[in-house]
Amino acid sequence: MNSMSQRLGAEFLGTFWLVFGGCGSAVLAAAFPTLGIGFTGVSLAFGLTVLTMAYAVGHISGAHFNPAVTIGLWAGGRFPASDIIPYVIVQVIGGIAAAGVLYLIASGKAGFDLAGGFASNGYGEHSPGGYALGSALIAEVVLTFFFLQVILGATHGRAPVGFAPLAIGLALTLIHLISIPVTNTSVNPARSTGPAIFVGGWALAQLWLFWVAPIVGAVISGFVYRWLGAEVTTPVVGESRPART
């Protein structure tokens, strides 16, 4: 079993990579002249951040990189309640640090303006597709619910060993393909908090949704997965199998 400091260090690095890679692709590359990667590229970037870091540090921390995942794993009986707060704190710090580094890079280009959103999540007039609060709430709850179903299933004791990061990374890619037009896709409060800190104003005012909805979806998913009957011994943080994203 790795020490708590090692586990928290891994969570910081993994969350940093997720926010820097995913939001960085949106801010720096999505609409790049002529060769922009668009929504599909951004979706793939988020999936790849999780996939790569789950293989890199999943054996250290369980590779959550997301407060909703940590809380959902607790609800699913996979994670101790006593470790939730330190995990969530370092995940949020990692997300803010990544957004800070991204800001330093993005602001080096003439014409850069935080008014463009800086990959923040939003609803109403701040939704990429103009979707209302209700639509955003439903999307974030439902998509986080299914994200946790994939995580809990892929890391189950009877699941094929070694393939969990692939399933989880692809699930996150699919989630972004569905919901970037709705909310810019959160399903991760740490991912939402980082950019919102720098944008301020509307992004901070709407941030509550991107904490509440993912956590609600994750908790429901955890309890539902217990009900589905995952009765065999499952991996725990620090084992060789990633317990997530």
Domain boundaries, the chain: 4-228
pLDDT at 145 over 80: yes
pLDDT digits (tens, 9 = 90+) for 2-58: 899 999 999 999 999 999 999 999 999 988 767 789 999 999 999 999 999 999 999
- How high is the pLDDT of residue 52? 97
Q: Which two tokens mark 48?
A: 């790849």
Average pLDDT, the chain: 92
pLDDT digits (tens, 9 = 90+) for 150-169: 999 999 888 888 899 999 99
pLDDT digits (tens, 9 = 90+) for 107-139: 999 989 998 899 999 999 999 999 999 999 999
How much is the average pLDDT of 91-111?
A: 96
- The verdict on domain 4-228 having CATH code 1.20.1080.10 is yes
pLDDT at 172 over 80: yes
> What is the 3-class SS of the chain, one letter each residue?
CCCHHHHHHHHHHHHHHHHHHHHHHHHHHCCCCCCCCHHHHHHHHHHHHHHHHHHHHHHHHCCCCCHHHHHHHHHCCCCCHHHHHHHHHHHHHHHHHHHHHHHHHHCCCCCCCHHHCCCCCCCHHHCCCCCCHHHHHHHHHHHHHHHHHHHHHHCCCCCCCCCHHHHHHHHHHHHHHHHHHHHCCCCCHHHHHHHHHHHCHHHHHCCCHHHHHHHHHHHHHHHHHHHHCCCCCCCCCCCCCCCCC
